[in-house]
Structure 1
């Protein structure tokens, strides 16, 4: 039986793709409460896939837009954060997998599983991460939370009440967090007794741990916070552990109106005091020192385009059953004498210039040249969402194909699923590209941008399952069930299906047994540069210079 892909394009002609019977679809409901995210670690921009607000139980406006804002929602001491997991990940695999507590409200905490893959920048350090965040629905039950989290929730609710009361009467609330070194069993109780002289009726003292405490002072403005911390130190001067006392403070509403943020800001100030070995520290709302990724010199895409130093690298995709090469995926890269091929990450946004179109246009030129010079090769070229929507893209594609007759049947254009969030708006562009004789692939499949009904309308030959769902297959029953659902959906529509981020033999065999047609990942090879004559001349010129 001819598949949808085989009937609409000549791209699969000659490929040893096994015949496959159409299967009845499974129920369309997703068993996986997970969302996709992408984190640009250089700019710190954090973008979410569909359903993120619903999965986290937050209003859309409250979804964190930066990595820093997201990190402030992670409960300290309850698992490695995403940044810590990425830092601990080994460079060859570049995968991370962690579990931690996420505080969404003063009295609402959930456990999340965070797994993904980071991509290095030109300097080699982590610069871009993509993964999935899955919320454990059972963890929201208060009785299942660790004691320390329940106590923290009670404290935050009381702090929020204090903030609300202070704001009601146009007052302020200062939160002081302290820590001491010591092994005494009931140290915080003794500290509370010593601090009573400085506490008013609505002030609050609570233990954050054996040697950590919080003191909320209502009607204490930010200008009085330093003197309040000095008085606190003087009240504890007779304590044996007083010499190791460190304090951090933050103020509402100067810094925030929310108790969760106020406590986090005070804890950040305390961490600064401990780091710099200072007795006390007040929260500084100014931007913190940039991360190592942000300190990297940004890659100059414009310069690379002007001097034509971008080169073509190819990543293999193989047939799942036979492991025979199927096609090569093109990607932009640089050549380094020290590090070899350096694949480049997503193209950043540049004001008043569609840099994505310029880069994708250059890669189209290199891809078309390679296909013309190698008549037996098949290549796929990913393009960005902005490129698909640019009115110059279709004429550019038609011009390159017209200048090299015959390559269209060996070229596949990869479109990200996110680009089809407004499906009907871009449907005409997809049909226009198909009319040129090329193949079309939809990447990032499973994120949720395209509904099953919309999928039926698309002239797609290949669906590539998002690697964020492939990576945890070995440990996650939910991911296995979800991927099976995606495969069955594609098979029912007669569309070939591929999987990315396939790094081990067990995952490859599992996917092949489920009916996946093509596989891509570290198991089958990393991107390798294809030296175009112009790139070779540039390398020789730089070597002589």
Structure 2
């Protein structure tokens, strides 16, 4: 079939042949100056014309391109992949697509393609135009933005958003799936002690190893600073999934940095099967994280499968946290109980221990064993601790004026939490409370558990010295239940050791148990500390402790924690434990 004379004339003009038509000559120059790639093809998909940018893409000249197909220059695959577009253009459609093209020099370029019919004056289709615009830089920017949005920069894994997207796709298709969360235990401590660089190397190593071992999962994502998620599509095969999880736990234990450094790692793992009640992907992720938290509460290095009771427990915890914050803000439902501390030899009143209580307006008394852990997990315990300290200081200042004339000043013991010890402003807070309440610092005894002190021994020693410089007295609570080191114990600027109730209650069971209490008291005397025994329940407990020369004691044998008005009657008055029974 011979070419249409009119399209031949156009091709001659665009090719630089003399045309006598200034408009066509100008058009040719404009096309050659453009970066857009333009070609005119005949119905057999052969080049009739191409501008300079198009020819550079093909690595050829116009005279060599005319009469050839794109496949002869850039490969048969491109010829095949654009066949349908050419056919649609020859049928009268204008079609726009985009995709990657490999140039003659081997470079990959991302282009938008426009295939449009070329029509003669009578409207007949005599060929088609191909117009290509290079969009590589825009595509690279889009890809970069996509990676930033959906991938973790440290490990290269998918991130939380990508995980949610995949779960949404499963949900839309009605495909069942199971989600596993693997949270590295103590990762914050490892990062703070070993450095962010070391931590990132560990995470990268974990990502590579998990990718090699996670054939059972469709997607691995990093969903938080130290947590990974694994998504498994299809009906849950629990034994097979648990075996795969065990393999991942082993991968965590064998993690190492790229420089060869190792540290023992374990992971708390939570698992949840997607259920009809999960309306959104976020609901599945929430329940997996709840199960992970349960595994962590059990000591870490474990796995827990979600059940609805876990969610109910978390909802209850959140409500209690909200109510506790409200109680602290209003100050109306919180109060302080005071348990007497008795001088064991004389039976006289030596002081009190301040104990927080919460009388919920709807639920009544909330035990400290329930609301204190909530306060600790949320950091609210720092504010609560300051509130209790202030109340206790105000109360002991009032009671000092009511004690028996000539008697030693009463002291007030107040418990401290690990969070308060970690607060860099804590010493200043104590200083301000002392100033506001006008209390003598020597009347206040702050109690710290030995595990809290020894967790960061050197830092704790500096803090205790700063508190001691204020004139505050200090005591180690629950002594014997933690992991005190004698090498540090003698360095601690403390005044008292408090023997844990578990030792007191076991004294009558064996000579060995009594020996433990005796050793603690001998150690305290050797180091210049006095001893307070807690949990004294019976007169037999009290008598044995007196025989062991214990300095102070407290427990139900003397009195339970009392409301302020009842406790105040003990100051300067008759003491019930001294009365005949």
TM-score range, shorter chain: 0.3 to 0.5
Decide which structure has the larger Cα Rg and report it. 2
The structure in which a higher percent of residues are helix is: 2
**What's the TM-score once normalised by structure 1's chain length?**
0.44
**What's the TM-score once normalised by structure 2's chain length?**
0.41
